[in-house]
Amino acid sequence: MIGGGIAMNKEQWSTFIGPGRHPISSAYFWYVNSPTGGAFEYYTNDDYLTENWQPRELEHSLVSFTEWAVEGGIDHDTRRQHKKAEAL
């Protein structure tokens, strides 16, 4: 998935958001802008349900919805990238 996202970036499919991971489905994602307009989600590795699957309740929060591969991480209150400490 990472290799595919990098390959798309090299072909003018710029990153919109990502890469990242949706914890609920375990899917890895990379949202890209199409050079012809619009955007789409490139993803892999969804979980699937078997006969042994049991439902569970998750706390509704931004933290449980998405993990971002953003340098420094994302502030879960502001949804903005944590700023790196500047070198002195």
Does 23 fall in a domain?
Answer: yes
The answer to whether residue 75 sits within a structural domain is: no
**Per-residue pLDDT tens digits of the chain, which is 88 residues long:** 889 999 999 998 998 888 888 877 788 889 899 888 888 899 998 777 889 988 888 777 766 666 666 666 677 677 677 766 554 4
Q: Does residue 74 lie within any of the structural domains?
A: no
Inside any domain, residue 28: yes
Edge-to-edge strand list for the sheet holding 27-33: 39-44, 27-33, 15-22, 67-68
Confirm whether 86 is domain-assigned.
no
Number of domains composing the chain: 1
36 falls within a domain: yes
Please give the distance of CA 19 from its chain centroid, rounded to a whole number: 5
Question: Would you say residue 22 lies in a domain?
Answer: yes
Question: What's the pTM?
Answer: 0.60
Tell me the residue range of the domain where 24 lies: 2-48+59-68
